[in-house]
A and B are shown apart, each in its own frame.
Chain A
């Protein structure tokens, strides 16, 4: 068990190293200098004679190059980057100056957890159940399978738009944006929790419904393969009930689905980011969007790192879970 976990941890550390290095390298490899871009924005805004403007621009350029430590050799920049990661220093936001990036992101994390965890887990559970039920039941399959395929083709955020339009604009029963009403302050009172849930339900539904389709398709195909396998036929010939055979098939089919959950996290993250934008939901996705809209590079890079860390942690948790549900992994690493 220890061997399995060490192996996984090493792989994730390598992944984090590569991802963080990309986070550092990509902006530097891109054509054009972000600093000149910022300076040119200031230059356009300022008035005055041409020579005066160019002098100001030059000074500003030097100032920003120094502020972002871009005037030192690249290996020192890289070393500094890692030191900053370990000290939790992700720079200062340009858009919400002088707020440190790490504080902005940390304030968003609770909303993300409360929004993502229930929608991912519930859609996984419900989707697998429906998929297993649809497999090999002709009537249900013919209607449900195309429905699932249409569901996976919907862009997450567009379903969000559709839901807001129906429940917010047309029916006026649910709030359209934010995580809670402006008049409220976050607290553990009944009124606040009720208000929070009212804002939470639509973003939750858009993520839940779209990802449900994918899980159902996967489970449906897996169950069909399992029902055709030898152990199922053997059980059938012994006179076991369909119900029992399906129960065993489900337990086998859930394993690749759990692996799939780890692999699908990236897609779900993308869905969550866009959904948060539709609902102006104050999670990391919405912050990232504000960073992009305002060309706030430290904020974008910080969000990238946080998304990576979140996905890696989730992968690690899934690996541990997998060890408990698949006896083969447990035994292979404890006895072999």
Chain B
């Protein structure tokens, strides 16, 4: 039992290391992590500091060019990158935690609590997150990155709750759980020893998806003018570029790089998620 379990773990690890999607995903992710670790050493201006040449295309001095106000866009991008990680971690974390608690409780308890919690979850699922975020954020005068991440997490949990509940329901009726129950194990012991280990990989995958989802949410929110008020954000840079006619004037260096960063950051997370899905669900493997 022990040995086969260990072998199975190695099998999954082996699958990860030979899976191209995993390699590409983790490669892109590492690149962005490196960028936000090493990048700040090359930042010579604060985000809203007059850096010289106005609206200049990328040069040696300004690797990503400057905006018409003379802000160095590389500096803005690197600072915004930190905020983006924070939103992903906190937003994804909060959504996963709440969803995990509610979904698990509903699935494990069943009956009345299940009905009630799932009705609440389904109602919140129907209400568009963006509408809720807009109505909350537009009435806040000062918005910090952390506060916005928490709000995004608070609106993102229904997806997690549904997924976790479904998983709990299927695990709850397995033989090994029944066996523990017959052996007289307490609820907490069953949860910790039988259910949690089987759900861990699943929950981690949900967290990765929420991480990406939170990033996309903050980008959209910043773009419609409700981003963090105390720092630059990737969506904020894009909003500036559209509001100040970068499109008509053809300042491609202002609007293209932030989008590429967002797209590939989120895509790398999805790639890792896809590889994990294939590792744990061999049926989905395409090869």
A149 to B24, CA, bound (A): 13
What's the A-B contact tally at a CB cutoff of 8 Å? 167
Contact of A149 among B122, B235, B274 (CB under 8 A): B274
| A30-B126 CB under 8 A given contacts A158-B238, A161-B242 | no
Contact residues in B for A308 (Cβ distance below 8 Å): 127-128, 131
Contact residues in B for A11 (Cβ distance below 8 Å): 119, 122-123
A 199-223 to B, binary, CB cutoff 8 A, 1 in contact else 0: 0000000000000000000000100
Min CB distance A52 to B, Å, is: 26
Spot the interface stretch: B58-66, B73-81, B186-194, B215-223: B215-223
Q: Does A43 contact B (CB under 8 A)?
A: no
Flag if B248 contacts A169 (CB, 8 Å): yes
A206 to B18, CA, bound (A): 35
A138 to B287, CA, bound (A): 7
Contact residues in A for B132 (Cβ distance below 8 Å): 22
Min CB distance B123 to A, Å, is: 5
Flag if B224 contacts A288 (CB, 8 Å): yes
Contact residues in A for B265 (Cβ distance below 8 Å): 153
Count of chain A residues with Cβ under 8 Å from any Cβ of B?
69
A213 to B182, CA, bound (A): 47
Min CB distance B258 to A, Å, is: 8
Q: Does B130 contact A (CB under 8 A)?
A: yes
Min CB distance A160 to B, Å, is: 9
Min CB distance A176 to B, Å, is: 6
Flag if A292 contacts B225 (CB, 8 Å): yes
Flag if A288 contacts B248 (CB, 8 Å): no
A267 to B286, CA, bound (A): 28
Q: Does A126 contact B (CB under 8 A)?
A: no
Flag if B262 contacts A158 (CB, 8 Å): yes
Contact of A292 among B219, B224, B241 (CB under 8 A): B224
Q: Closest chain B residue to A144 by CB distance? A: B286
Contact residues in A for B270 (Cβ distance below 8 Å): 149, 152-153
Size class of the B contact interface (CB-based, 8 Å)? 35 or more
Min CB distance A25 to B, Å, is: 10
Spot the interface stretch: B6-14, B34-42, B85-93, B133-141: B133-141
A 280-292 to B, binary, CB cutoff 8 A, 1 in contact else 0: 0000000011011
Q: Does B255 contact A (CB under 8 A)?
A: yes
Flag if A14 contacts B123 (CB, 8 Å): yes
Contact residues in B for A138 (Cβ distance below 8 Å): 286-287
Flag if B286 contacts A293 (CB, 8 Å): no
Flag if A161 contacts B238 (CB, 8 Å): yes
Contact residues in A for B138 (Cβ distance below 8 Å): 291-292, 295, 297, 300
Contact of B141 among A32, A150, A303, A312 (CB under 8 A): A32
Q: Does A92 contact B (CB under 8 A)?
A: no
Contact residues in B for A315 (Cβ distance below 8 Å): 126
Contact residues in B for A265 (Cβ distance below 8 Å): 128
Q: Does A269 contact B (CB under 8 A)?
A: yes
A228 to B282, CA, bound (A): 12
Tell me the chain A residues, 257-306 only, with Cβ under 8 Å from chain B: 262-263, 265-267, 269-271, 273-274, 277-278, 288-289, 291-293, 295, 297, 300-301, 303-304
29 interchain pairs (CB within 8 A)?
Answer: A11-B119, A12-B126, A18-B127, A22-B132, A34-B139, A142-B287, A145-B286, A150-B263, A152-B270, A156-B220, A157-B220, A161-B247, A162-B259, A165-B250, A168-B247, A169-B247, A169-B250, A225-B283, A263-B125, A266-B125, A269-B128, A271-B220, A274-B220, A274-B224, A277-B223, A292-B134, A292-B224, A304-B135, A312-B126
Closest A-B pairs by Cβ, 4 of them: A266-B128, A270-B130, A158-B259, A153-B266
- Which residues of B are at the interface with A, using a C-beta cutoff of 8 A? 21, 24, 119, 122-123, 125-132, 134-136, 138-141, 212, 216-217, 219-220, 223-226, 235, 238, 241-242, 247-248, 250, 252, 255-256, 258-259, 262-267, 270-271, 274, 283-284, 286-287
